[in-house]
Structure 1
Amino acid sequence: MPKFAANLSMLFTEVDFLDRFKAAADAGFEGVEYLFPYDFEAAEIKKRLDDNKLTQVLHNLPAGDWGAGERGIACHPGRVDEFREGVDKAIEYATILGCRQVNCLTGIKPDSVSDEEAHKTVVENLRFAADKLKQAGILLVAEPVNTRDIPGFFLNRTEQAIALFDEVGSDNLKLQYDIYHMQIMEGNLAPTIEKHFERIAHVQLADNPGRHEPGTGEINYPFLFDHLDRLGYEGWIGCEYKPKTETNEGLGWMKGLK
């Protein structure tokens, strides 16, 4: 049976962020993930994790000015120093939180930057981050994101990600496979997961259309969960969806699996 982690950036948003840890535990989750921890003291988040017996599954590297629409800076040639400082900051937080993997959002390619220059910058940044994180005992993951929700996002298909990882050449870089994003970009979910199974370290979900909970759209999640079980997936599945109504009212899909 899959292990589900609540994405606190999208679930339980009816309460303040630090109160979402208890809300997730009360709803039956044993793990949590979210975009960023950096607006809070790491020790305070760690206390919420410990108080609620939760595992910190994942958070992202710093990704630029999120409020201004930035979605990562790994493909920005002029911001390599900022990216590297963000790696150090992520290691500091992840170490305190007991988080064993962090995600790199590669970002939206600036119009002034060529495809070749952006690609070279991403390779160098991922290589740097994978090495630094490996020294800290933390896995680096990166995810393709659909270009409907985030136009211009640099990394947007599975095969592109795998080729990029091969070029980076690190054994500390794996794929974060987001079912929702990949349904939009390429479909063919089960065969793709099987083909690249050994490269996948983390899975995220939402249904399509709407990015709501499983069972509200076109994706056959019971089949995919069974498929992941057959393949021997032992990682977490992050529930990164927008509840169609209120979070707890939309958890029937998960409770029905038990």
Structure 2
Amino acid sequence: MPRFSANLGFLWSDLPLPDAIRAAARAGFDAVECHWPYRFDPADIRAALDDTGLEMLGLNSSRGKEGENGLAALPGREAEAREAISQALDYAGRIGCKAVHVMAGFASGPRAEAAFLANLDFACELAARQSAAILIEPLNHYDAPGYFLNSADQAAAIIERAGRGNLRMMFDCYHLQIMQGDLTRLLHRMAPLTGHIQFAAVPDRGAPDHGELDYRHVFAEIDNMGWDRPLGAEYRPVGATDASLGWMQSLRPSA
């Protein structure tokens, strides 16, 4: 039976992050994850995690300046990218989080790939010191036009070239159904490189109980893969988050 992680970048986003963690625990989530927690004191986040017994599965490196979507693949911005990576890993260490998503940014071409690989090498070396993983995530070209990573195969090639054992893919079913489709075969093919799985309805990124993907089937396939970690609910609720949670029961394979 699948377990679920609440992505607090979208769920209970109207609450301060410590309160959102507690709301996720009350709702029955097994873990939490977030986007950019940096305006909150890590001691307050750690206290909320300790109070609820939930683990923070991951957080993102900084997007950069307004209008940017990450720094790690931007040639000439290596110092800023590495500052953002160091910030993310320091914060993660303070709250007991074992994965950081290093955001690539809007870029393309060989120079961008070289910058990304060099910054990922830095990130992986730093992360290894605290037994953490680095994640990279392909994003779809409707929500993030011009983003450096846009397919699972491109991310797999980057991971292979980097040659780092703690570099993994964030497999977001929403993004990759839009970009590649044939989702369950893609999940099986990418399983050895995958560090975390996320989901939302396609195409509207709402709760996963509607749209073109049958998540009852997808969750059963993930279970058949032997995946035993919580799956990240990274969807945009319409209205109050608590009113959107019926899928947690209706989509379980045993329901």
Residues 165 and 174, structure 1, Cα contact 8 Å, conserved in 2: yes
Could you say what secondary structure the match of 1:175 adopts? Answer: strand
Q: Is there any run of 5+ residues in structure 2 with no aligned partner, and where? A: none
Aligned to 1:187: 181
- In the alignment, is the contact (CA less than 8 A) between 2:207 and 2:237 conserved in 1? yes
| Counterpart contact for 2:17–2:40, Cα < 8 Å | no
Give the partner amino acid of 2:32.
V
Verify the 8 A CA contact 1:207 1:216 in the aligned structure 2: yes
Separation (CA, whole Å) in 2 of partners of 1:90 and 1:238? 19
Task: Give matches, 1:1-258, under 5 Å.
Answer: 1-65=1-65, 68-109=66-107, 115-256=109-250, 257=252
The Cα offsets for residues 63-84 of structure 1, whole Å up to 9 and x where unpaired, read as 213xx12110011112111111
Give, as a single letter, the amino acid of the residue that structure 2 aligns with 1:224: V
Q: For residues 197 and 91 of structure 1, what CA distance do their matches in structure 2 show? A: 25
Runs of 4+ in 1 over 6 A off after TM superposition: none
8 Å CA contact 1:75–1:154 kept in 2: the answer is yes
The letter of the residue matching 1:234 is D
Query: Tell me, what secondary structure is at the counterpart of 1:2?
Result: coil
How far does the alpha carbon of each residue in 1:190-244 deviate from its partner, in whole angstroms, 9 at most, with x for none?
0011112111110011011210011121101011111011110122211110013
Identity %: 37
Query: TM-score, length-normalised on structure 1?
Result: 0.94
Q: Distance in 2 between matches of 1:156 and 1:137?
A: 27
Q: Distance in 1 between matches of 2:14 and 2:40?
A: 19
Amino acid in structure 1 at the alignment position of 2:88: A
Deviations 1:21-74 (A, max 9, x none): 111111111211110121111111111111222111110122213xx1211001
Note if contact 2:17-2:45 (Cα within 8 Å) is conserved in structure 1.
Answer: no
8 Å contact from structure 1 (residues 201, 235) kept in 2: no
Q: CA deviation at 1:189?
A: 0.5
What is the TM-score of this pair, normalised by structure 2?
0.95
Q: Distance in 2 between matches of 1:52 and 1:70?
A: 34
Distance in structure 1 (CA, Å) of the matches to 2:89 and 2:16: 25
User: How many matched pairs?
Assistant: 252
Give the superposition deviation at 1:90.
Answer: 1.6
8 Å CA contact 1:25, 1:52 repeated in 2:
yes
* Alpha-carbon distance between aligned partners in 1 of 2:17 and 2:40, rounded to the nearest angstrom: 10
Q: Secondary structure at the match of 1:38?
A: coil
Q: CA RMSD in A?
A: 1.3
SS of 2:100's partner is strand
Distance 1:60 1:152 in 2: 19
